[in-house]
Structure 1
């Protein structure tokens, strides 16, 4: 008889543990839902053709097949998942054209992250190609730590790590190979 009481006790404890376990699981799922927040864009646009002007002058033209606006999050950004074609204009209406397969523009920092076959071509014929490039809109400055290929009238060079002004007048490169004519 003692054996039956112990078996009954084991069954009761096991049943109680199973009920407790399944009872907590549903509460755990509810708690997970409390911490879950949807990450959806506040705006979604197709075939974007955006012109930015300042004092009546065109400063930038942005073309993109898709734009997602996440201005509704704590660190707002705009994503271009299908790439961009961006033309920048200086005070003399000289252009710098930038293309990339993907881009993200961060509103608080004014930094644009360009990725995937990034290519910049200036009106003077200078070309830079890389896989990732950042653009500081406030200072009109480009920079990357990735490998790059730079071509101008003086020749072609390859390297890793470069930063330069929007008009290519100031160029600071790190590891560079190739032949270039120098004015010095």
Structure 2
């Protein structure tokens, strides 16, 4: 009889243990968030100077005075609140420069949004100016629906919207509102 009681108690303890084990959720991410508001950045960086390399060659240099890290959110991003300058180098080491007063990099979507006084100057002196521009890193594609001014070798083209690959080989101003032809 005593053996039967011990056996029953052991079964009950086993069932309770297994039930507790499977009823617990993986709460590691929730534990990490304790004491951190979802509205606050998880980190702040000052005087950022990041260099991106490929096979030992610098391909880009990002400079900003302040970066906020919101990787603790369900939709993580990094925010450059005091402006950003990005120098991009092609295979021939030609430098193009992107500046903006504000930028946000969305980690999960490979999308970069730049706002306020966005200026791109390519190595061959093409200049794009707008107040908002998106860059899709995975497709290497630039686009906006905001008013733009695009200076080429021969013209300044104004319009509402812009589409181009990152090399500007197929740049297109959408809804052209005016073209100014430059004299030599």
TM-score (norm 1): 0.75
Structure 1: segments with no counterpart, 5+ residues: 1-36
Question: What is the match of residue 55 of structure 2?
Answer: 55
**Partner Cα separation in structure 1 for residue 168 and residue 38 of structure 2:** 42
SS of the residue 1:157 aligns to: strand
Give 5+ residue unaligned stretches, structure 2. Answer: 1-36
CA shift for structure 1 position 179: 4.1
- Deviation, 1:92, is 2.0
1:44-83 matched pairs, under 5 angstroms: 44-83=44-83
Quote the residue 1:42 is aligned against.
Answer: 42
| TM-fit CA distance, 1:75 | 0.7
Residue 79 of structure 1: how far off its partner (Å): 0.1
Q: Which secondary structure does the structure 1 equivalent of 2:125 belong to?
A: coil
Greater Rg by CA: 1
Partners of 2:111 and 2:126 in 1: CA distance: 22
**Residue 158 of structure 2 contacts residue 173 of structure 2 at CA under 8 Å; is this kept in 1?**
no
1:20 counterpart residue number: none
Number of paired residues? 146
| Residue 136 of structure 2 corresponds to residue 136 of structure 1 | yes
* Cα deviation, residue 59, structure 1: 1.5
CA RMSD of superposed structures (Å)? 1.7
Secondary structure at 1:52's aligned position in 2?
strand
Tell me, in whole angstroms, the C-alpha distance in 1 between the residues paired with 2:140 and 2:91.
13
Normalising by structure 2, we get a TM-score of: 0.75
Structure 1 residue runs of 4 or more that deviate by more than 4 Å after TM superposition: none
Residue number in structure 2 paired with 1:29: none
Query: What is the distance in 2 between the residues matched to 1:104 and 1:51?
Result: 18
Corresponding position of 1:116: 116
Structure 2 Cα separation of the partners of residues 77 and 180 of structure 1:
41
Partner of residue 164, structure 2: 164
Q: Distance in 2 between matches of 1:96 and 1:135?
A: 15
1 CA distance for matches of 2:173 and 2:49? 33
How much has 1:38 moved relative to structure 2?
A: 3.6
Q: Which moved more, 1:125-134 or 1:163-172?
A: 163-172
Checking the alignment, whether the CA contact within 8 Å between 2:148 and 2:173 is kept in structure 1 is no
What corresponds to 2:29 in structure 1? none
